[in-house]
Amino acid sequence: MDPYKYRPSSAFNSPFCTTNSGAPVWNNNSSLTVGARGPVLLEDYHLVEKLANFDRERIAERVVHARGASAKGFFEVTHDIAHLTCADFLRAPGVQTPVIVRFSTVIHERGSPETLRDPRGFAVKFYTREGNFDLVGNNFPVFFIRDGMKFPDMVHALKPNPKSHIQENWRVLDFFSHHPESLHMFTFLFDDIGIPQDYRHMDGSGVHTFTLINRAGKSTYVKFHWKPTCGVKSLLEEEAIRVGGANHSHATQDLYDSIAAGNYPEWKLFIQIMDPDHEDKFDFDPLDVTKTWPEDILPLQPVGRLVLNKNIDNFFNENEQLAFCPSIVVPGVYYSDDKMLQTRIFSYSDTQRYRLGPNYLQLPANAPKCAHHNNHYDGSMNFMHRDEEIDYFPSRYDQVRHAEVYPIPSTVCSGKREKCIIQKENNFKQPGERYRTFTPDRQERFIRRWVEALSDPRITYEIRSIWITYWSQADKSLGQKLASRLNVRPSI
Residues within the annotated binding site? Answer: 348
The residues with which 211 forms a beta bridge, in sequence order, are 221, 334
Closest CB to ligand HEM among residues 6, 354: 354
> Which residues in 249-308 contact ligand HEM (CB under 6 A)?
none
Helix extents (H) in 42-182:
45-55, 151-158, 169-176
Closest CB to ligand HEM among residues 220, 366: 366
Q: Which of 46, 47, 65, 267 binds ligand HEM (CB under 6 A)?
A: 65
Q: Which stretch binds ligand HEM (CB under 6 A): 61-69, 227-235, 291-299, 391-399?
A: 61-69
Asked if 71 is part of the footprint of ligand HEM (rule: CB under 6 A), the reply reads: no
How far is 252 from 319, CA to CA, in rounded Å?
Answer: 12
- The active-site residue out of 46, 108, 132, 138 is 138
Give the contact letters, 403-442, x = binds to ligand HEM (CB under 6 A), - = no.
----------------------------------------
Q: Which of 102, 179, 184, 449 binds ligand HEM (CB under 6 A)?
A: 102
Give the contact letters, 17-56, x = binds to ligand HEM (CB under 6 A), - = no.
----------------------------------------
Q: Which of 355, 369, 445, 485 binds ligand HEM (CB under 6 A)?
A: 355
Closest CB to ligand HEM among residues 351, 491: 351
Asked if 123 is part of the footprint of ligand HEM (rule: CB under 6 A), the reply reads: yes
Angle at 187 between CA 182 and CA 190, to 5 degrees: 105
Known catalytic residue at 65: yes
Give the contact letters, 229-258, x = binds to ligand HEM (CB under 6 A), - = no.
------------------------------
Q: Which of 46, 47, 67, 68 binds ligand HEM (CB under 6 A)?
A: 68
CA distances from 156 to 35, 62, 73, 151, 163 (A): 54, 14, 35, 9, 12
Residue type, 240: A
Helix extents (H) in 106-208:
151-158, 169-176, 183-189
Q: What is the DSSP string of 310-366?
A: EE-S-HIIIIIT----TT---TTEE--S-HHHHHHHHHHHHHHHHHT-TTGGGSTTT
Residue 31 dihedral angles phi and psi, to the nearest 5°: -70, 155
> What phi-psi label fits residue 443: left (phi over 0), alpha (psi between -120 and 50 degrees) or beta?
alpha
Q: Which stretch binds ligand HEM (CB under 6 A): 17-25, 107-115, 319-327, 475-483?
A: 319-327
Shortest distance in whole angstroms from residue 363 CB to ligand HEM: 12
How far is 445 from 96, CA to CA, in rounded Å?
Answer: 42
Asked if 151 is part of the footprint of ligand HEM (rule: CB under 6 A), the reply reads: yes
Using Cβ positions, the residue closest to ligand HEM within the complex turns out to be: 121
Nearest to 324 by CA among 156, 158, 104: 104
Asked if 136 is part of the footprint of ligand HEM (rule: CB under 6 A), the reply reads: yes
Closest CB to ligand HEM among residues 67, 464: 67
- Which residues does the annotation place in the binding site for heme? 348
Asked if 343 is part of the footprint of ligand HEM (rule: CB under 6 A), the reply reads: yes
Shortest distance in whole angstroms from residue 205 CB to ligand HEM: 7
Q: For 108, which DSSP code?
A: S
Q: Which of 23, 41, 63, 241 binds ligand HEM (CB under 6 A)?
A: 63
SS (H, E, C) 223-274: EEEEEECCCCCECCHHHHHHHHHHCCCHHHHHHHHHHHCCCCCEEEEEEEEE
Known catalytic residue at 374: no
Q: Which of 176, 221, 226, 324 binds ligand HEM (CB under 6 A)?
A: 324
Q: Which of 46, 62, 434, 449 binds ligand HEM (CB under 6 A)?
A: 62
- The active-site residue out of 46, 65, 208, 250 is 65
List the helix and strand counts (H, then E) for the chain: 12, 10
Q: Which of 214, 234, 253, 347 binds ligand HEM (CB under 6 A)?
A: 347
Nearest to 466 by CA among 122, 83, 95, 175: 175
Shortest distance in whole angstroms from residue 257 CB to ligand HEM: 20
Q: Are 406 and 331 in contact (CB under 8 A)?
A: yes
**Number of residues in contact with ligand HEM under rule CB under 6 A:** 27
Asked if 477 is part of the footprint of ligand HEM (rule: CB under 6 A), the reply reads: no
Q: Are 348 and 326 in contact (CB under 8 A)?
A: yes
Closest CB to ligand HEM among residues 348, 471: 348
Residue type, 191: D
Q: Are 401 and 418 in contact (CB under 8 A)?
A: no
Q: Which stretch binds ligand HEM (CB under 6 A): 57-65, 107-115, 125-133, 400-408?
A: 57-65
Closest CB to ligand HEM among residues 148, 490: 148
Instruction: Give the CA diameter of the chain.
Output: 85
Q: Are 206 and 224 in contact (CB under 8 A)?
A: yes
CA distances from 170 to 387, 458, 461, 487 (A): 59, 6, 12, 18
Residue 347 dihedral angles phi and psi, to the nearest 5°: -70, -35
**Interface contacts to ligand HEM, rule CB under 6 A:** 62-65, 68, 102, 104, 121, 123, 136-138, 143, 148, 151, 207, 322-324, 340, 343-344, 347-348, 351-352, 355
Positions marked catalytic: 65, 138
